[in-house]
Amino acid sequence: MKRFAFYGRVSTEDQQDPTSSRNWQLARSRQVIEPDGEIVAEFFDIGQSRSLPWKRRPEAARLLDEFSNRRRGFDAVVIGEPQRAFYGNQFGLTFPVFTHYGIELWVPEVGGAVDPGSEAHDLVMSLYGGMSKGERMRIKTRVRSAMASQAAIEGRFLGGRPPYGYVLIPVGPHPNPAKAATGQQLRRLAPDPVAAPVVQRIFDRFQAGQGLHAIALGLNADGIPSPSAHDPDRNPHRASGRGKWAKTAVRSILSNPRYTGFEVWNKQRKDEVLIDVEDVALGHETKMRWNDESEWVWSASPMHEALVSREQFEIVQSMFGVTKARGPRKVSEGRRYVLSGLVHCGVCGRRMQGQWNHGKAYYRCKFTSDYPDESGDHPKSVYVKEAALLPGLDRWLASLFDEAHIDDTCQVLAGASEGDPDAEERNAELRAAIKACDNKLERYRSLLEQDGDVAIAARWITEAQRERRELEAQLGQVVPGGKMTAAQVKALVAALQDIVSVLSEADPETKAQVYGNLGVSLEYMPDGMVAVQAHPRGVTVRVGGGT
């Protein structure tokens, strides 16, 4: 009896219960392979979009990894619905892997196994990939069209967190019968009695000529909680803001048109951009981007109580426009912050901002300017020159890989590594597979000596050599005992010695990239001490510079 692995997928875009979806896909798969096949392994992705390549879906990637395991326990893969498995050209990019490992792919649409040599089967599978892509695009179009009409015609609140100054109140059962049956209701924005007056104050102060920074300082001075502090349960990601107002929060409020009482939708969009233009097979990633104001969808009439008038909102936006009309800030060529995002203030823990002064790069933390520090622990300004940080950082990195310390460094890295508890068994399997490749190569070479078909033998030899190299690479990655040894780590990091030794002479862009890849993080204290870390070890050094 042929042993099968089942693969299926369901995502939020499918609007299905994962358990029900798995069950019917599994049942359809069994219909294809019965009575001579049985499913011995399952791989089912939940919440993964069909647009993701197989290597970026957890269960699909795990299935592909099992192909090289000679003890995988299955000989073929069955898929209940190819539209859920393959999107666009994914079949053409994935099926060669099946063929390489000699694993059959069974789907209902061809009545059994997909024949690698059949143009008809290839056409059918490619067609379903195109249908899958078309179906997803149609779903996106229908959803966006429906949401646009609901916002423009019905003025419906379409979800998300209410803006600061508002709360959500129920206004009746949901118009969708299925959702109404589960108790879901339509909701509408209503003024928050505590926060709404703060919003009105911000608009009034800005219209009167007060700047963003001054408004934030005034709110902090009066002890008014910031949006994150006002509703901490909905803002756990803002817990580090210490409950103080910043000018970015003030600007966000002044730019939000929903305070006029109108529902506004489509301010942002999701764009799918290639992860790597040199390797299209990696697929796309989603980026949130702002739409032009001409693309915003406004409700036909006010749908909730306004906190500011439409006229006042437009006046405020025109005041922003005057500021923007001054033109973009000019940035001189060659201004590069090598440690951008890597330097933190040792007092408050915030990232220090880059500042160019007298032709040199500096990093500063002006915590008390935005967040008055009642404790007095934070200096008015923590300030350090980039040139004071780099030499000490480069010396430390170089010391990690010199002859006196490389063994210690490798030992630390080995202690932080994760190995394979079944490594010995897997290594034995890999060595046996390498031995089998060697036997193949001997047979193929014998075929050449016996005047066999040179072209066929050469192709077989090439394939066997490639398989042998892949097995050798896997053998080098399997670590016995659950941890990498210091010797193995030493072999991996030896190549870094040359890079680190010339780091001080590298151009700023290259230095910034190397620091980022090494996971460098610096914490600067006003007394001139800098704690430097590059995961997984750290050290403290003294550099020049001060408050």
Where b means 16+ CB within 10 Å and e means fewer, 243-273 reads: bbbbbebbbebbebbbbbbbbbbbbeeeeee
For residue 158, is it within any domain? Answer: no
Q: Indicate if 363 and 450 belong to the same structural domain.
A: no
Q: Indicate if 432 and 453 belong to the same structural domain.
A: yes
Q: What is the pLDDT of residue 452?
A: 56
Q: Indicate if 52 and 186 belong to the same structural domain.
A: no
Contacts of 494 (CB under 8 A, 6+ apart): none
Q: Indicate if 231 and 349 belong to the same structural domain.
A: no
Q: Indicate if 87 and 172 belong to the same structural domain.
A: no
pLDDT tens digits, one per residue of 238-265:
544 456 888 889 999 999 999 999 999 8
Task: Output the six-digit token pair for 425.
Answer: 């068994």
For residue 270, is it within any domain? Answer: no
For residue 285, is it within any domain? Answer: no
For residue 178, is it within any domain? Answer: yes
Q: Indicate if 318 and 348 belong to the same structural domain.
A: no
Contacts of 200 (CB under 8 A, 6+ apart): 307, 308
CATH of the domain at 55: 3.40.50.1390
Q: Indicate if 207 and 312 belong to the same structural domain.
A: yes
Q: Indicate if 87 and 180 belong to the same structural domain.
A: no
Q: Indicate if 511 and 478 belong to the same structural domain.
A: no
* Number of structural domains the chain divides into: 4
For residue 492, is it within any domain? Answer: no
For residue 276, is it within any domain? Answer: no
pLDDT tens digits, one per residue of 485-526:
555 555 556 555 555 566 666 777 778 877 876 778 888 887
Q: What is the pLDDT of residue 484?
A: 54
Q: What is the pLDDT of residue 277?
A: 77
Q: What is the pLDDT of residue 206?
A: 94
H or E element, residue 222: none
For residue 426, is it within any domain? Answer: yes
Q: What is the pLDDT of residue 79?
A: 96
Q: Indicate if 201 and 129 belong to the same structural domain.
A: no
Q: What is the pLDDT of residue 325?
A: 41
> C-alpha angle 359/361/365, rounded to 5°?
130
Where b means 16+ CB within 10 Å and e means fewer, 361-375 reads: bbbbbbbeebbeeee
CATH of the domain at 220: 3.90.1750.20
Task: Output the six-digit token pair for 19.
Answer: 């358990």
Q: Indicate if 243 and 372 belong to the same structural domain.
A: no
Q: What is the pLDDT of residue 503?
A: 67
Instruction: Match 């409700």 to its residue by tokens.
Output: 299
SS3 content of the chain, % helix, strand, coil (to 5): 50, 20, 35
Q: What is the pLDDT of residue 537?
A: 38
Show the low-confidence residues of the chain (pLDDT under 50): 239-241, 323-332, 416-420, 478-479, 481-482, 536-547
**In contact, 115 and 121? CB cutoff 8 Å:** yes
Domain span at residue 471 reads 418-482
Inter-axis angle of helices 310-325 and 196-207, nearest 10 = 50
Q: Indicate if 79 and 8 belong to the same structural domain.
A: yes
For residue 538, is it within any domain? Answer: yes
**Preceding peptide of 526 cis, ω within 30°:** no
